[in-house]
Amino acid sequence: MHFASPRDAIAHHVGVVHQERNLIPRFSVAENIHLEQLGAHVLRPVDYAELNRQARRWLETLNLDVDPATPVSQLSVAKMQLVEIAKALSLQSKVLLLDEPTASLTSSETDTLFGILRQLRDSGASLVFVSHKLEEVQEICDRVTVLRDGANACESRPMEGLGRPELVRLMIGRSEGGGTWRKRDTSGNPPVLELRQVATALGHRDIDLTVRRGEIVGLYGLVGAGRTELAKSIMGQFPVTAGTVLIEAKPVRIGSVAEAIHQHRLGYVSEDRKGEGLILPHSVLGNAGVPIWRRLAGLFGSLSDGAVRRAVLPFIQKLEVKTPSLSQTVGNLSGGNQQKISVAKWLAAGVKLLIVDEPSVGIDIKTKAYLHDLLRELADAGTAILVITSDMPEMVALADRIMVMDAYRVRGEVANTGVYADVSQRIMNLIHRAEERREAEPA
């Protein structure tokens, strides 16, 4: 086959779930899911009741409790990803290409998706699954092709008998290295961030949270738990309506993101790099240097590219950002390289507290290992780090302590032992108990 356009491919039952969301923000969930069917008959108006009914079917398949009439712009990144998947499923494709479909999903949502993919496979559909998460590749795939530096490292090799060490060797050309979790005692370190009985305009209540100097605290919860929303409230994007926020033991009222960055030296790596983390039409150098422009500015606010380059280049090199030059437009880079720049700018800024929201979305295993090592190095050097991730293995690999959130409240704390089976079970037990309490509460 030779397709003349993406629409030609769709007409031949080829569907795609894109790594970078391919939705129209102003359109509703139902309109996005059935975009190819809108306006099929020029003189017939769109039957929105039927459109919403059909969309609800695919949303229920993915256990996504969203009103189909909701504009996509009002959804979280994870829910947008599920709508993208629902859109592809609605085409009932014979060939379905999935590019990092679980990047923003929790483990339970991933399990639901994998159940659907197995059903599609068993019904005769062919699937191509692109992922950096090796445990997912091993779980869902029959055969694997590994690409390294734009060439095949192996082609259509059966998964049977192929373990993680061999996959890693094929991916990065050597055995897996990098640091692993290690027990670190930071209990005697002074707190950098403290939340005491904090409530926010978004609905958080009674939030108690402490992140000490040199400590990595994990924030885990299912989609809708309020983790990202709490991070944005700490950064001053949304108001704190009650309780106390302390930075280095001093009560503060952070009124804006700029104040959080420049006065209190807080940094935030957004889960939505395209919408919030980067200025896509600007250069690599411009994006990486934004948080330190004020610090580097000379007389009358003058700023040289040379000063910015000297400050950010070591971190861009360490993260192995693949770009023709520092003048390259960030929007022209791959999603993985965009994410690296989102991280590099805060490393260059030398913040007191770094909030990292889904740090390894869309980056390969080699860069993920480097990023984990960098976060550990930052913590060892005294930076307080708050990590939000839906990747349970990543959470267990990084965190000293793990705070579990559900329904915009902190439900408990889990001390990390580095033993995945033990820690993950205790986290899920806290979430399940919280769900049971909510269901038992009177309406």
The counts of H helices and E strands in the chain are 16, 15
Dig out the tokens for 96 from the structure: 């379905």
Do 230 and 309 sit in the same domain of this protein? yes
Look at residue 243 and give its three-state secondary structure.
strand
The one-letter amino acid code at 434 reads A
Is the pLDDT reported for residue 247 higher than 60? yes
Is the pLDDT reported for residue 177 higher than 60? no
Mean pLDDT of 84-93: 86
CATH number, domain containing residue 92: 3.40.50.300
Percent of the chain with pLDDT over 70: 96
Average pLDDT, the chain: 86
Do 134 and 224 sit in the same domain of this protein? no
Do 13 and 86 sit in the same domain of this protein? yes
* Dist. CA 172–CA 168, nearest whole Å: 6
Instruction: Report pLDDT for 437.
Output: 73
Dig out the tokens for 185 from the structure: 């005692």
- Residue at token pair 């339970």: 108
Instruction: Report pLDDT for 245.
Output: 96
Look at residue 4 and give its three-state secondary structure.
coil
Closest CA to 231 of 120, 1, 386: 386
Is 175 contained in some domain? no
Select the more confidently predicted residue: 67 or 272: 67
- Residue at token pair 């708050």: 386
* Dist. CA 333–CA 319, nearest whole Å: 14
Instruction: Report pLDDT for 227.
Output: 93
Percent of the chain with pLDDT over 90: 35
Do 12 and 91 sit in the same domain of this protein? yes
Is 434 contained in some domain? yes
At 272, the pLDDT band (50, 70, 90 cuts) reads confident
Whether the CB-CB separation of 87 and 79 falls below 8 Å is answered with no
At 267, the pLDDT band (50, 70, 90 cuts) reads very high
Select the more confidently predicted residue: 330 or 298: 330
What angle in degrees, to the nearest 10, is found between the helix axes of 77-90 and 48-61? 110
Task: Tell me how crowded residue 424 is: count the other CB atoms within 10 A of its CB.
Answer: 18
Select the more confidently predicted residue: 38 or 32: 32
List Cβ neighbours of 353 (8 Å cut-off, separation of 6 or more).
192, 193, 211, 247, 264, 265, 266, 267, 383, 384, 385, 386
| Per-residue pLDDT reduced to its tens digit, 361-395 | 767 777 777 788 888 988 998 999 999 988 888 89
Whether the CB-CB separation of 378 and 385 falls below 8 Å is answered with yes
Is the pLDDT reported for residue 399 higher than 80? yes
Helix (H) or strand (E) holding 348: helix 335-349
Helix (H) or strand (E) holding 231: helix 227-234
φ/ψ of 5, rounded to 5, equals: -165, 165
Is 195 contained in some domain? yes
Whether the CB-CB separation of 431 and 222 falls below 8 Å is answered with yes
* Dist. CA 323–CA 341, nearest whole Å: 11
Cα 70–chain centre separation: 22
Give, in order, the Cα–Cα distances in Å from 320 to each of 209, 277, 368. Answer: 34, 19, 11
Give, in order, the Cα–Cα distances in Å from 208 to each of 144, 172, 195, 282. Answer: 45, 41, 5, 38
Is the pLDDT reported for residue 43 higher than 70? yes
DSSP single-letter state for residue 311: H
Do 240 and 113 sit in the same domain of this protein? no
What angle in degrees, to the nearest 10, is found between the helix axes of 365-380 and 164-172? 90
Mean pLDDT of 120-149: 88
Do 39 and 107 sit in the same domain of this protein? yes
Is the pLDDT reported for residue 97 higher than 90? yes
Identify the domain boundary among 141, 160, 182. 141
Do 113 and 200 sit in the same domain of this protein? no
Identify the domain boundary among 124, 141, 158. 141
Number of domains in the chain: 2
Sheet containing 409-415: order of strands: 266-269, 353-357, 384-388, 216-220, 401-406, 409-415
Q: Which of 74-83, 199-208, 244-253, 255-264 has the lowest mean pLDDT?
A: 74-83
Q: How many residues does the chain have?
A: 443
Instruction: Report pLDDT for 167.
Output: 83
Is 315 contained in some domain? yes
Do 135 and 215 sit in the same domain of this protein? no
Domain with 436, as residue range(s), is 191-440
Instruction: Report pLDDT for 359.
Output: 83
Is 179 contained in some domain? no
Whether the CB-CB separation of 370 and 319 falls below 8 Å is answered with yes
Is 276 contained in some domain? yes
Do 26 and 88 sit in the same domain of this protein? yes
* Dist. CA 359–CA 103, nearest whole Å: 10
The one-letter amino acid code at 259 reads E
Instruction: Report pLDDT for 4.
Output: 94
Do 88 and 217 sit in the same domain of this protein? no
What angle in degrees, to the nearest 10, is found between the helix axes of 335-349 and 365-380? 10
Mean pLDDT of 430-441: 75
Angle, alpha carbons 188-192-198 (nearest 5°):
115
| Per-residue pLDDT reduced to its tens digit, 179-222 | 567 888 888 999 999 999 999 999 999 999 999 999 999 999 87
Is the pLDDT reported for residue 130 higher than 80? yes
At 93, the pLDDT band (50, 70, 90 cuts) reads confident
Is 180 contained in some domain? no
Do 95 and 214 sit in the same domain of this protein? no
Instruction: Report pLDDT for 53.
Output: 93
Is the pLDDT reported for residue 342 higher than 90? no
At 253, the pLDDT band (50, 70, 90 cuts) reads very high
Do 69 and 214 sit in the same domain of this protein? no
Instruction: Report pLDDT for 441.
Output: 66
Helix (H) or strand (E) holding 297: none
Is 181 contained in some domain? no
